[in-house]
Amino acid sequence: MIKNGRIVKSLAGFYDVESEGTVYQTRARGNFRKKGMKPLVGDFVQFSTEENSEGYVLDIKERKNQLVRPAIANIDQAVIVMSTVSPNFSLNLLDRFLVFLENKKMTPLIYISKLDLIDNLDEMNQFKLNYEKIGYSIYFNSDELLNALNHKVTVFMGQTGVGKTTLLNKIAPEMNLETGETSEKLGRGRHTTRHVEFFNVAQGLIADTPGFSSLDYEVDNAPDLNNAFPEIALISHDCKFRECTHTHEPECAVKRALEKKEILQSRYDNYLQLLSEINNTRETYAKRRKKQV
């Protein structure tokens, strides 16, 4: 019988496909293999199932997005975990995570951990207001965050030590994750490769997230960078030049908005920093290519 479903687990060449509430064990066998495509957890697939024998994944539907580590596809949203201290809160790092997610069409949710370690909340409250104005959701407690996971596929990301595991243990104890502390106590190596699996939490799906300690935001051109800053993208429609980079061009609406404090200075500064990183990388590549000729 041919069915449609979604891969919810992958282990040693087997794929668990969920279809209308039932999970079927399958292997890969389809045209996509010739194209070098490998089924990923999160893929919507067509598969065959037979009684008394395993089924086969026959076709993979087009992906909305995908991650390499963990290897998953079609992710709706990502929780960026940022701590107030140890490691220190960084708007620069946060904006890099946001650019990465915007570019991948994953909705960012921002969770602030270790609020108990700071005496004064003024700065964090101001940050919350500022970023909510851009359109982002900021969470100071895990119960509110839990509600936002309903009916969505969510991954968790953040610098090492910010408290991802601690947070996941609070909202999804069934995932049985080890925090930095416990895995050190037990003398086990960190970052052991696990199989990839979705967990049902709050009527949504959560993917385990082994990686993400360093971040390549994966944007390599100015227009994509512009679009990865939603408030800049919106205002850029009023710039005189269609491909305005908001640096040296006359009649730039973004610079006007900056003067009127309608755009945060830190956001603009981080935009400029990423833009110059992108330009530097492009120049380096161009030089290398010239040398090769």
Whether residue 84 is annotated as binding a ligand: the answer is: no
Is residue 45 within 8 A of residue 30, CB to CB? The reply is no
Q: Which is nearer to Zn ion, 201 or 244 (CB)?
A: 244
Tokens of 209: 């997230």
- Which among 107, 85, 111 is positioned nearest to 165, based on CA atoms? 111
- List beta partners, residue 229: none
CA distance 96 to 158: 11
Work out which of 246, 264, 270, 274 binds Zn ion, going by CB under 5 A. Answer: 246
| CB neighbour list of residue 11: distance below 8 Å, 6 or more residues apart | 195, 197
Q: Which is nearer to Zn ion, 96 or 246 (CB)?
A: 246
Q: Which is nearer to ligand GTP, 61 or 185 (CB)?
A: 185
Minimum distance of ligand GTP from residue 267's CB (angstroms): 25
What's the residue count for the chain?
A: 293
Interface region with ligand GTP, contact rule CB under 6 A, candidates 28-36, 93-101, 113-121, 255-263? 113-121
163 near ligand GTP (CB under 6 A):
yes
Whether residue 113 is annotated as binding a ligand: the answer is: yes
Residue in the shown chain whose Cβ atom is closest to ligand GTP: 163
Neighbours of 133 (CB within 10 A): 12
Whether residue 189 is annotated as binding a ligand: the answer is: no
| CB neighbour list of residue 265: distance below 8 Å, 6 or more residues apart | 258
Whether residue 26 is annotated as binding a ligand: the answer is: no
- Which among 89, 99, 106, 70 is positioned nearest to 162, based on CA atoms? 89
Interface region with ligand GTP, contact rule CB under 6 A, candidates 33-41, 101-109, 114-122, 124-132? 114-122
Q: Which is nearer to ligand GTP, 94 or 275 (CB)?
A: 94
CA distance 98 to 108: 7
Q: Which does 254 bind (CB under 5 to 8 A by kind): ligand GTP, Zn ion, none?
A: Zn ion
Binding residues, by number, are 113-116, 158-166, 239, 244, 246, 252
Residues near Zn ion (CB under 5 A): 239, 244, 246, 252, 254
Residues near ligand GTP (CB under 6 A): 113-114, 116-117, 158, 160-166, 179-181
